[in-house]
A and B are shown apart, each in its own frame.
Chain A
Amino acid sequence: MTHCILSARHLSKVVSIEEGNLCILDDISFQLEAGDSLAIVGTSGSGKSTLLGLLAGLDLPSQGSVALAGYDLGQLNEDQRARVRAEQVGFVFQSFQLLESLTALENVMLPLELEQRSSQPRQQATALLERVGLGKRLHHYPRQLSGGEQQRVALARAFACQPKILFADEPTGNLDRATGQHISDLLFELNDEQGTTLVLVTHEERLAQRCQKQLRLEGGRQVSEHGVA
């Protein structure tokens, strides 16, 4: 039996600028069920990343509501939203967002240590890094790794806490085509292995095609959707 893990209702985001108000997102609504994969596509500046931020509870909408894993994020304060993220959510970013001063292993161990999720964070992180093919680069710092390798570390970190839903913001945006292909393969493999729901922001049609559902944005508006209820 499936159930709704993420839903957005009439989401809008308006920001104030010098010239007046700027509408970044306008009336976005959809639902996603557990285990689904959704690609949010659109050109640069279409509001993809802003939408991802609202869905993950990193920011609040000007209007509308987001329900994530049964929680109405608009009703929660920032600390409560952080708790939801800690328990339910994983992230992968375009610019990897690894901590420069930590080794690959330490970066992957970080979420496990923060939440005391694992009694053996080192072993678990090592296993994940081996899984993404970096078993021999455990003690390398991010600057000693290529872009593709850094994104693999980020993937290992994202899956370390076995999140229910994974948000990926242009995960291959900073990588060449072959490396990007390798990373997206890995992302979908891990997603399948752990049964994670995936919300992916991308401007690459090929990557978007690998998701079960797609939501297209243009100028902050939802122009078409495929498979989204």
Chain B
Amino acid sequence: MQSIIRTSLHRLMLGLRQLWRERRSSEIHILFLAIVIAVATSTSIGYLSARLKASMQGQAAEFMGADLRLSGAQAATPQQIEASLNLGLQHAHVVEFSSVVSTEQYLQLSSIKAADAAYPLRGQIISQTAADPAPQSGGYPQPGEVWAEQRLLDALNVHLGDLIEIGRISLKVTRILTQEPDQAADIYSLMPHVLMHLDDLPATDVVQPGSRVRYRDLWAGSPPALEKYQEYLEAHLEPGQRVQGVKESSGQRVGTALQRAEHYLNLASLITLLLSGIAVALAATRFANRRLDACALLRCLGQTSSQSLSLYAVQLGALGLGAGVIGAILGWAFQYFVFYLVRNLVQVELPPTGLGPALLGLSTGFTMLIGFALPPLAALGQVPPARILRQDSLPMPISRWLAQGSALIALLILMWQLRLDTQLIFVVLGGACIIAVVVGAALLWGLKALKNALQQAPLHWRLGLGQLIRHSLSTVGQVLAFGLILLSMALIILLRAELISNWREQLPEQAPNQFAINIQPDEQQAFSQRIDQVTGQTPSLYPVIRGRLTQINGSSAEQRARPDSQGERAIRRELNVTWSQELPLGNQLLSGTWWPSTPNKELSRVSLDAELAESLGIKLQDRLTFDFGSEQREVQVSSLRSVNWDSLQPNFYVIFEPGSLEGLATTYMTSFYLSAQANTALVQLARDFPSVTLIQVDALLAQLQSILAQVSLAVESLLVFVLAAGVILLLAGLLATLDERMRQGAILRALGAQRQLLQRARLTEFAFLGAASGFIAFLGCELITAILYHKLLGMDWQPHPWLLCLPLLGALIISAAGLLGTNRVLRASPLELLREH
């Protein structure tokens, strides 16, 4: 046993010593660099996405008041609460209902929230007093107190310190409620908000069996406990209960943007890993090839194949560990640096993420090393010792299954580690494979055709291209490899630009930050003019009528709705509906006709949000009955639309045909942008139009913008890694064929070839390689983006003619890198080169 340990230790030390002695070899540098890049990339991506995710979830949690929310017509059961406490989660209980708040002279229907002292678990309530108008964060109304919005105080004509009545009890108004967590989700609420202590609720006697009450149970705690608890809750939901984590919550607000960003991050990770994986494979192959003689020598010196293999395995392992640690540190430092650069842009506290991403990065490096470097290393173990006497004795080719299998397994493990999207992988890899096979075959045929055409060409053409034609299979391999590198880089640049411009369109700098509701018909014109004066833009005023969807094709709508579906939530409350001649901005007609030209004398027509229609099983031509309090209207569905709920514009589930809602009580609403400097104008606006309710959505807007800024940042910074991986792979690829080129150049020079001729020949060769690679990149990019846009990103695809510059770009890049890499052919003496190669 002791001798085994001693021998192993000896071999370990020997391997390390050999590695140290060989530290100047170029293939070791490339291998080292490829692993550093791979580990730095995955570490950095790990840290970036973990911190961004944590920060976005933190923001989303603040807006929800918790990390996890259970809402519904009944409160969490004691068993549900007990399970959460067992997991160490904090819990808060909230009851929401509408009730009349009154004084001796006035009444006002209000939205009341009664919560226990633990509320809110995330974020803070912002309130102010008349004496101190500066908003303050934190605190909570004590029993016997309420905090209310200014508009309620105005409506009831009360001041701070006065009593108001809710149900059977009187409560003292102690602070003005400016903002509360999860208020932002409710911007269409017309009623003023009141916050009271849960202990006072029973005494009000407002909540009776059958009352319209909404219960919310909130939880906060550690992510693993939350995850476990969310799983538990989903399995133990009572009828009518709905569970919502921050992911779902943030997804609701910036849904598509985040989803696309996630796809993009996934894609960038996949491509970077692929690029660095291939670079590792190329560098490891060169490492192995250059050690064939050394390995044969070791065999002559009496080493068994496993002993010599273990020597190289120790070297690769140590190299991987060293490069991995440096890569992990670099990756960590890079993301830190990126966040430091944009510290003003991302104003939330970024949570530390521990060692997890660094360790994941390290394991990525090792998986890559084992998967991609194992086949060439295994070949090294097969070197026959007789190679030392006859250079043509090559190692037994290792099984193709082993080589490709190990790379495939490594790739699968990496994808599993990074939780990459399988659909995405198939699109990218499938697209790349199709292009590789089709274009590879075409290229082989083209090279054959070129052979005849080349006979009359100048010498440098024959020298440069002749080399490529003679080794046509290897040429096709090189063109495909360079083509895939350019393809990956172009794909990432293209998607980044389109995603970011897409988000900017969605949320321009001056996105509306004010909503005005309750604009009376007689104020409509004056209000519109005032907004025009203040903002310089005429606002679109949308009529709003409150109505409830009661029947679908003559049967009860409630029966059609699945419990806890979007449809159920929509029919349980009054909807804000509108009429409009034009299809509103951000809406897209999916089916049917937008107000058919032939009038329907019998029934008016409506256009429905497609998701709501699907949830309630409503189809075109179905008849719907709406209850508008005083009267009912039956209408027919003439079109279905998609609605961009992320846009800060008034959006409606139901839009009626113009003229179909005449005679019903109508108010108007609009949204507009007002700069922070125009605050006095806002105050004046509120004074001049007292019945209009102005709602500021700055906080929501800031959250949206911050999230988009962070996502853009992640997208931008990842580009650096993809490009770095691409450049390293390019170098590794060139280095892999460098020896042969150097030797050929040296022979030509020894035979008296002028430097200019050599330079032209190499330029011709590299430019051809680059242009062909660029063409492949162009085709691949268009094919993959067409599929990606359509299937995954939900964006419209249009051809990108500028991608046609890729062949030129490829020729320039490959020529520059190639000429630089083989510059020594021109500088060093031919004798020196021939002795080396």
Contacts and interface: CB of A to CB of B under 8 A. Distances in A.
> Are A and B subunits of one complex?
yes
A17 to B, nearest CB: 12
17 contacts: A49-B389, A50-B389, A53-B389, A58-B299, A58-B386, A58-B388, A59-B384, A59-B386, A82-B305, A83-B302, A99-B22, A101-B24, A101-B25, A114-B301, A114-B307, A143-B835, A143-B836
A87 B836 CA distance: 32
A116 interface: yes
Contacts of B10: 116
B297 interface: yes
A113 interface: yes
Interface string B352-394: 0000000000000000000000000000000011101110000
Interface of B: 10, 14, 17, 21-22, 24-25, 293-294, 297-307, 384-386, 388-390, 835-836
A24 to B, nearest CB: 10
Given A82-B303, A101-B22, A110-B301, 6 more contacts: A56-B300, A59-B386, A82-B307, A86-B301, A111-B302, A114-B301
Nearest to A83: B302
A115 B298 CA distance: 11
A159 interface: no
State the majority secondary structure of interface residues on B.
Answer: helix
A93 B389 contact: yes
B301 A113 contact: no
A221 interface: no
A85 B25 contact: no
A102 interface: yes
Which 7 residue pairs are nearest across A and B when measured between Cβ atoms?
A: A86-B302, A101-B22, A79-B304, A59-B386, A58-B385, A85-B302, A58-B386
A89 interface: yes
Most chain B beta-carbon neighbours within 10 Å: one of A58, A78, A85, A169: A58
A52 B389 CA distance: 9
A115 B836 CA distance: 30
Most buried by B among A89, A99, A102, A106: A99
A79 B381 CA distance: 12
A31 interface: no
B304 A82 contact: yes
Contacts of A91: 300-301, 388
Given A58-B386, A58-B388, A101-B21, A85 B301 contact: yes
Interface in A108-154: 110-111, 113-116, 143
Nearest to B24: A101
Contact of A97 (B293, B302, B305): B293
Contacts of B303: 82, 86, 114
Contacts of A50: 389-390
Nearest to B391: A95
Interface residues of A, number: 32
Contacts of A52: 389
Contacts of B307: 82, 114
Contacts of A56: 300
Contact of A106 (B21, B384, B390): B21
A155 B830 CA distance: 28
A116 B384 CA distance: 24
Given A58-B389, A79-B306, A102-B22, A111 B384 contact: no
Contacts of B298: 114
A79 B301 contact: no
A225 to B, nearest CB: 22
A16 B14 CA distance: 39
Residue among B21, B22, B298, B306 with the most chain A CB within 10 A? Answer: B21
Given A99-B294, A114-B14, A53 B386 contact: yes
Contacts of A59: 384-386
A78 B305 CA distance: 8
Given A97-B293, A99-B297, A169-B389, A114 B25 contact: no
Contacts of A93: 388-389
Contacts of A53: 386, 389-390
Contacts of A49: 389-390
A90 to B, nearest CB: 9
Contacts of B14: 113-114
B17 to A, nearest CB: 7
Contact of B388 (A78, A83, A97, A99): A97
A111 B21 CA distance: 15
Nearest to B302: A86
A48 B306 CA distance: 29
Interface in A49-106: 49-50, 52-53, 56, 58-59, 78-79, 82-87, 89, 91, 93, 97, 99, 101-103, 106
Contacts of B390: 49-50, 53
Contacts of B17: 113
A143 B297 CA distance: 18
A114 B300 contact: no
Given A52-B389, A91-B388, A143-B835, A85 B300 contact: yes
Contacts of B384: 58-59
A23 to B, nearest CB: 16
Nearest to A54: B386
Question: Which of B10, B21, B302: most chain A Cβ within 10 A?
Answer: B302
Contacts of B306: 79
B673 to A, nearest CB: 66
A87 B14 CA distance: 19
Contacts of A89: 300, 302
A110 B208 CA distance: 91
B297 A97 contact: yes
A74 B10 CA distance: 31
Interface string A35-58: 000000000000001101100101
Contacts of A83: 302, 304
A83 B306 CA distance: 12
A61 to B, nearest CB: 12
Interface in A9-41: none
A114 B386 contact: no
Most chain B Cβ neighbours within 10 Å, of A82, A84, A87, A91: A82
A114 B302 contact: yes
B5 to A, nearest CB: 14
Contacts of B389: 49-50, 52-53, 58, 93, 169
A85 B385 CA distance: 11
A92 to B, nearest CB: 11
Interface in A162-211: 169
Contact of A78 (B300, B301, B304, B836): B304
Contacts of B385: 58-59, 82, 85
A99 B305 CA distance: 18
A104 to B, nearest CB: 12
A136 B10 CA distance: 29
Contacts of A85: 299-302, 385
A87 B388 contact: no
Contacts of B299: 58, 82, 85
Contacts of B293: 97
B312 to A, nearest CB: 13
A59, A87, A101, A106: residue with the most chain B Cβ atoms closer than 10 Å: A101
Nearest to B297: A97
A84 B22 CA distance: 28
A58 B296 CA distance: 9
